[in-house]
Structure 1
Amino acid sequence: MMVIKLCSNLKSARYFAAFISLLLLTGCWSRIEINDHAFVTAMFIDYSEDGVYEVSLGFPLPNRMSNGLGLTGAPKGNPYSIVTKRGESIPVAIRKIRSDLSREISWGHCRVIVVGRRMAEFGIDQLLEFTAREPNFHTKSFLFVSPTKGLDIAKLTPVFERLPSEVLREFAQRNVTLGATVKDFLEAEASGGDMVTGLLTIRQMEMISEEGKMSTWVGTDGAALFRSGVMVGTLDVIGMRAGLWLNGKMSSSMNSIKSPTDGKTISFLIQTSKSSIKPLINGDQIGFDIHIKADDDVLSSESDIDLMDPKQIKALEELLSEQLKDRILRTLQTTQSEEVDVFNFGRILSWRYPKAWQQMKGNWREQYKKCEFHVVTQISVKRTGAEKNAIIRNNKE
């Protein structure tokens, strides 16, 4: 009898547990279906002369996405849309965009922000405030500066990609420009607000892919220098590339020098690079030892130099190293003249000498102008190819 009663109690307990589990499977009361989302892939922001923000959001259009099968009757037109609104603040402009959409804005896929030059020179603090407070916004989104309006960049023709945002994202991920993220800017705000990011270039050109029509082409240029969230200057392309060297992100890029034998061009492909920065304090003088190493391959040669001769290779390595050293020093001098520590030397100093940093951080920009930089570059030519000399000259002979 006791066994039957015990079995009955266990059976009742199982039913009760199953009933409680069903109550926990009631779903989410605030659920939004995926086809009710409008996924933002890029954000373009401008600041007008009358003190109004102009915000443009890029959205993919799923109903126009190609299925890749080449079927007839496929939807025509661009597979994306740009929606623009103006407001006295960035959130107000976004709220106006939201009011005109049939779907709910979703920030989870936004990876690119482009600010117009006027906006950058006015300051991006309000943008950083919005991105920091919006819980669904990825702080790893890349931030670029347009040479004109941010909205002009949104008009680019994505020849190799489906969306304009994908083109810009690839620029940063492939390290063809300095791809600073929102997170980088927010971290820089905690230590003075100095930052550097990629500057884009824009032009109109005939494109065969667009049936010879004049279309908007966007590429990379130099870099924009920010002091306390305000753009105060620029670096040229060489300066921007020096920034990639300092950050240890230079790879799969080409570099050229004049041959020491006949002055003709020899081009090299950079395979890998590595950088290290060590701060030094000697009394009142602050210095930084910068060491950069890289491996290069010979890409092409128009010179009669003997690439099989170790002495000639050594001479080329010295020329490459000296050229890189000069470019880095020139770039650092530019940042010192602008009083912007965009490569975060102050942060490196604070890690090594925290007590000394506490005393000088209030006057760091003035101290940064007086810093000494000791740059050591070591470039090794690893592969010269199978040809001993220039192929063109050999064929002519």
Structure 2
Amino acid sequence: MKWLVCLLCLCACLLGGCWDRVEINDIALVTAAAIDLSTPDVIELSVQVFIPRSVSEGNGSQEAMTIIRTEKGDNIADAMSKVQLNVPRKVFWGHCRVYIYGEALARHGLNDFVDFFARHPEPRNRAYVFVSKGKARDILQVMPPLERYPAEVVRKLSDMHVGINVTLLDLQKMFAAGTDSIALPMVELMKPPNEERPKETNPYLSGTAVFRNGKMIGTLSAQTTKGLIWLRDEAFRMTVTGKITQERGLVTFRSIREKTRLKPRIEDGRWKMLVEIDTVGFIVQNGTRLTLDTPEQIAKTEAAMSKEIESEVRLALQEVQKELQVDILNFARQFHRKYPKEFAAVRENWNQVFSEIEVDFKVKVNVRRTGLIAVPAGLPNSDVKR
């Protein structure tokens, strides 16, 4: 009899396993969030909510697959509570992959607008963080032609490593470590091809927003960001186009493996940094008359690509080190590891020390393959240099 009672109790426990279930039709899936500054003391939170029924209908209509809900509040939590009052389903952050801060808010300061997403249990730590050119809400309101909603566009661009990548967890770690220098990818809207349909356009990554002490102080262009990516050891499938010495035309190289090493030194009181960049790849286009099938020609090509990469890196270093004077290159971390006592002595005025560091470069390019053909296409054999 006792075993029967125990069995019934066990079955009763198993049968109650769905008491706290949450159906997809009972929640509002947030796919992106935009945070703007309305006034110095009021923020504006916009959430992009996915509409599941638009997918299931499959009627090929141009009906929007998301809705935007916007509310103002004293902070993000206050604005979020007001959004919930206007949404008949429970707002769920677990599917939010994109967080966009408006430019005005970024210049005002991000320090007070990170805690909510770090403290709340639902937001994904691996979600991407961006800064918008202008209002962040405008990014969520467009209808991109290739993707279902704009957040998908910027997320996929980040997955492709078009610019620098910063996740919510990365941002939390930066603030927790007391880092006063932060870089975030910048997103902007393309000019719509049809002025009669201004909403039909795409967001794109236009460069990098640079922060000091939590406040945005400047930006880097997309071209300068390429050099920044090399310096931060975040290069991935990079394309480099350069000119071979004493040759007409251009050669384009595509990397398949990249590595950047920072080697700090302090000599006679002078702070120095050696930047070593190694990359392996292949030639995707040859606009010269060279055949690129001999060790001598390959060596010329590798030298040209190395020179071009160094040029990109020097451009980024000039803007970051000399103009903005903000260490978003992780130089401080490298010196702290190797010279902890010396670094502790200059920690308080590190940005000044950073601006005076002597930087040398050593770039090595290895052309592994030259493509399906050795000779340049489109030229008669008599014009080819072998």
Contact 2:154 2:205 in 1 (8 A): no
Contact 1:191 1:347 in 2 (8 A): no
Q: Which residue of the partner structure matches residue 53 of structure 2? A: 63
Q: Which residue of the partner structure matches residue 147 of structure 1? A: 133
CA distance in 2, matches of 1:221, 1:357: 34
Structure 2, gaps ≥5 residues long: none
2:7 pairs with 18, 21, 29, which one?
Answer: 18
Q: Which residue of the partner structure matches residue 199 of structure 1? A: 186
Q: Which residue of the partner structure matches residue 42 of structure 2? A: 52
Structure 1 residue 178: Cα displacement: 0.8
Taking structure 2 as the reference length, the TM-score comes to: 0.89
1:205 is matched by which residue type in structure 2? P
Structure 1 residue 395: Cα displacement: 9.0
Contact 2:240 2:308 in 1 (8 A): no
Structure 1 residue 380: Cα displacement: 1.4
- Aligned in 2, Cα 1:355/1:154: closer, same or farther, shift over 3 Å? same
Q: What is the RMSD of the two structures over their aligned residues, measured on CA atoms?
A: 2.5
1:94 is matched by which residue type in structure 2? M
Matches within 5 A, 1:86-105: 86-105=72-91
Higher Cα radius of gyration: 1
SS at match of 2:201: strand
CA distance in 1, matches of 2:78, 2:99: 18
Q: Which residue of the partner structure matches residue 365 of structure 1? A: 351
> What's the CA shift string for 1:49-71, capped at 9, x where partnerless?
56431111011101111565xxx
Q: Which residue of the partner structure matches residue 302 of structure 1? A: 287
Q: Which residue of the partner structure matches residue 281 of structure 1? A: 266
After alignment, is 216-225 or 158-167 more displaced? 158-167
CA distance in 1, matches of 2:142, 2:278: 37
SS at match of 1:366: helix
> What's the CA shift string for 1:166-212, capped at 9, x where partnerless?
111111111011111122222222232311121123123237xx9x9
Q: Which residue of the partner structure matches residue 92 of structure 2? A: 106
> What's the CA shift string for 1:93-120, capped at 9, x where partnerless?
1111111000011111111111121111
**Corresponding residue pairs, total:** 379
2:277 pairs with 292, 295, 300, which one?
Answer: 292
Q: Which residue of the partner structure matches residue 214 of structure 2? A: 229
After alignment, is 86-95 or 17-26 more displaced? 17-26
Matches within 5 A, 1:174-253: 174-189=160-175, 190-206=177-193, 213-214=197-198, 215-253=200-238
> What's the CA shift string for 1:109-154, capped at 9, x where partnerless?
1111111211111111122122122122222211111111111111
Structure 1 residue 28: Cα displacement: 6.9
Structure 1 residue 41: Cα displacement: 0.9
SS at match of 1:195: strand
After alignment, is 274-283 or 235-244 more displaced? 274-283
CA distance in 2, matches of 1:193, 1:313: 44
1:348 is matched by which residue type in structure 2? Q
Q: Which residue of the partner structure matches residue 24 of structure 2? A: 34
SS at match of 1:393: coil
CA distance in 1, matches of 2:275, 2:287: 33
CA distance in 1, matches of 2:293, 2:137: 52
- Aligned in 2, Cα 1:31/1:362: closer, same or farther, shift over 3 Å? farther
Whether 1:256 aligns to 2:246 is no
Structure 1 residue 19: Cα displacement: 4.1
Structure 1 residue 16: Cα displacement: 4.2
Q: Which residue of the partner structure matches residue 268 of structure 1? A: 253
Whether 1:349 aligns to 2:335 is yes
Whether 1:333 aligns to 2:318 is yes
> What's the CA shift string for 1:275-305, capped at 9, x where partnerless?
2222223353332222111123111122212
- Aligned in 2, Cα 1:332/1:288: closer, same or farther, shift over 3 Å? same
